[in-house]
A and B are shown apart, each in its own frame.
Chain A
Amino acid sequence: MSVINVRVKFVAGELTPGLESGEYSICEGSTIRDLISECETACGAAVPPGNFKLMYPLLNGKPAQLDTAIAKSATVHICRVVMGG
């Protein structure tokens, strides 16, 4: 299975403590959840399990799900489900 590079931006830092935005390498066919897991490993951090349901992921600027598969050269944003104020 080939490795692809994707760019991730953690917009909601309080949901993903310790994770750093940037470019990561993941296996082709990985999901957004897999990407976060890879980021946890790379950054030596762990996202509290309860925070996942507060995430609103975007894939290439479009709403996605945590189990959406990522293609190469993708950009992922991890936002909050609650927006505005």
Chain B
Amino acid sequence: MSSIYTNGYTGKYVIIDLSTRKSDVRIFDEETLKYFVGGPSLGARILYEEMPALTPWDAPESMIGFVSGPTNGTGPLMGGRYTVVCKSPVTGMWNDANSGGNFGPLLRKSGYDAVFVKGISPTPVYIFIDSGVVDIRDASGLWGKTTEQTEKEIKEELGDPKVGIALIGPAGERKSFIAAVMNDTHRAAGRGGSGAVMGSKNLKALVCRGNESIGVFSRDDVVALNREVAAWEKEGPIADTMIKIFGDHGTGSLYEGSVYGGDASVRNWGGVPSDLTEQEITALGTQTMDKFYKTKKYACNACSLGCGAMYQVKGGKYPLEETGRPEYETSGMFGSGLGAGDPEVVNWCNYLSNEYGFDTISLGGTIAWAMECFSNGLFTLEDTGGIDLKWGNTDAIVEMTEAICKGAAGMGSVLALGSRAAAEHYDRGYEYLTDAGGIETPQHDPRRAPGLARTYQYDPTPGRHVKGGQGFTMNAELPPEVKYDFKDPAGAERDVAGVVETEITNMAGFCMLSDLGMPPACKTRFLTAVTGFNYEGDEERKLGLRSFTMRHAFNLREGVNRENRKIAGRILGKPAMTDGPHEGITIDNDTLADNFFKALDWDLQTLVPSRKALEELGGLENVIADLY
């Protein structure tokens, strides 16, 4: 056995086969950790090796992984996120989605940096890892139960309220393509349908407990960097503005400006802010909602920003004793995106989505698609089961959300598969899809930040705002003559730089808000302090692009190429809007993508990286062997 690398790692991972009920504990070699670090990057590396190409997502050979990052539980501020990896049921491609809360650090305390699951259990089970020991337990009594109830019962069964639990709700059990993996009651690794992969394996939950202590390369350096972050958050140039507002009111604080400014969708990306009343727009900003509903703040593990809060909704049509504050994405999907602005409805739909284990982005986006179809006569009241899906009808929004969550017969069960699958089921409404690669797009409009179009269409996980490129944070400050100059070669360099930064954020286990919440150039220094690996100079760029390429390599094996990477025309301004903040704007995403792929030295049609590019990145010998 080789020696275990323990600076920033347990150095171990386990592959659990639910068909044979056997576990295979393995040791990470040092080079793999140095090259792939953690999260989606390390997860892609393992699935590329262990999961055969073209495996159907629900086959026994299909794998799902829960992968930590080296910042999880080792001290760096804002380093609490773990990643779920699998093949996506909705896109048919690589999938990774990350989540905060406390599960990532608790996973590592149980003795493993990552847990991978394959096989299919004949009956519902949950996996309990207690200080490295894997126990596959009966979950028949938990099947059908909501996420909060399941968490409660598992904790009671184990007699331990502090175990870490990643689980699915009824959505995942029903193999909904838009089912999330949930943790800490209302935190979600939401996107891409990873909950359905768990459900296909009859796996209700992964539960972790332990006291493994993870060493770091230099505790002094971690502490010093944390002091830099604390000073930045207290006294830095955006301390009194962006950091304060996220800390006070969370991501939803940006809702109102995002609607007016054209970042949030209105009516399935086809409307304009003036389709909503000022009152509807203001009502969903958390500066307003906090006044009525906020009971307390909370933060994910090791987070100094603390963008979370709990709400209580007293009285009204949809009272809630305790629920997580809706994130910006959720308010957009169940608010402006549906032509509505009722905070009680948003809170209720957010609560239902979390309880049943749905991705709020895909669920809201799917209802938006159905509403537009209904508004244009493609669906009748008979089709919808009597639900009057006209824009802004808040009763209808709740009724349809409940129908989807509860698996009601008829349209509810069809919409639970997502908008693309629903369009194919009914064979209509394709013109109203606003997806990228089959998945609903989030609440950031490329027509405002055109770099997002390249990211949405061509990231290995399409339709994501948390993936890299010259997207909203980098493009926001650019003048129009720069950000709409699609031929500008400098745009490709911004694109590559954005990819590198975001890949490192995600593999390390940092939150995306660290882009604002910590000084520039902190992340690789944190990685070095924790792991001892040096990522200075060109190594940083290689690290980010290696991760991006590894995730992409998984897709190449699945037959992905330029031709079959699709995005809805509306997202690109085809046709251009005739009013509102995006009037007259059309994005030339072909040129944006051409420039990006040229910068990476990828073939423009096959999207196969050149051998030279792969060799320069290092650590991709298995990919080279497959491609050349």
Contacts and interface: CB of A to CB of B under 8 A. Distances in A.
B240 A48 contact: yes
B477 A13 contact: no
Nearest to B244: A14
B581 A63 contact: yes
Given A83-B444, A84-B258, 15 more contacts: A14-B245, A50-B237, A51-B241, A54-B242, A56-B261, A56-B476, A61-B580, A63-B581, A79-B258, A82-B254, A82-B473, A82-B476, A83-B258, A84-B251, A85-B252
Contacts of B580: 61-62
Interface residues of B, number: 48
B328 A85 contact: yes
A58 B581 CA distance: 8
Contacts of A83: 254, 257-258, 261, 263-264, 444, 448, 472, 476
B254 A85 contact: yes
Interface of A: 9, 11-15, 48, 50-51, 53-54, 56, 58, 61-63, 65, 77, 79-85
A12 B611 CA distance: 48
Contact of B472 (A9, A14, A65, A82): A82
Given A53-B477, A82-B476, A84-B443, A15 B241 contact: yes
A80 B442 CA distance: 19
A61 B444 contact: no
Interface in B416-461: 442-444, 448
A33 to B, nearest CB: 15
Listed residue (B257, B273, B480) with the most chain A CB atoms within 10 angstroms of its CB: B257
A56 B327 CA distance: 22
B274 A61 contact: yes
A51 B29 CA distance: 48
A62 B582 CA distance: 8
B583 A62 contact: yes
B110 interface: no
Interface in B512-540: 513, 516
Contact of A85 (B237, B246, B287, B476): B246
Interface string B254-275: 1011101111100000001110
A44 B329 CA distance: 36
Nearest to B252: A85
B250 A85 contact: yes
A61 B472 contact: no
Interface of B: 237-238, 240-242, 244-246, 250-254, 256-258, 260-264, 272-274, 278, 287, 307, 327-329, 332, 442-444, 448, 465, 472-473, 476-477, 479-480, 513, 516, 579-581, 583
A31 to B, nearest CB: 16
A80 B261 CA distance: 8
Contacts of B332: 84
A84 B254 contact: yes
Contacts of B448: 63, 83
A51 B250 CA distance: 20
B128 to A, nearest CB: 35
A84 B307 CA distance: 13
Contacts of B257: 11-12, 56, 77, 79-80, 83
B453 to A, nearest CB: 15
Contacts of A11: 256-257, 260
A49 B567 CA distance: 41
A63 to B, nearest CB: 6
A58 B329 contact: no
A14 B241 contact: yes
B581 A62 contact: yes
Contact of B327 (A13, A14, A48, A85): A85
Nearest to A81: B476
8 contacts: A12-B245, A14-B242, A65-B479, A80-B257, A83-B258, A83-B448, A83-B476, A84-B328
Contacts of A56: 257, 261, 476
A77 B328 CA distance: 20
A-B residue pairs, 5 tightest by C-beta: A85-B251, A79-B257, A83-B263, A85-B328, A83-B258
A77 B580 CA distance: 13
A15 to B, nearest CB: 6
B433 to A, nearest CB: 21
B254 A13 contact: no
B444 A84 contact: yes
B241 A13 contact: no
Contacts of B256: 11
A83 B477 CA distance: 11
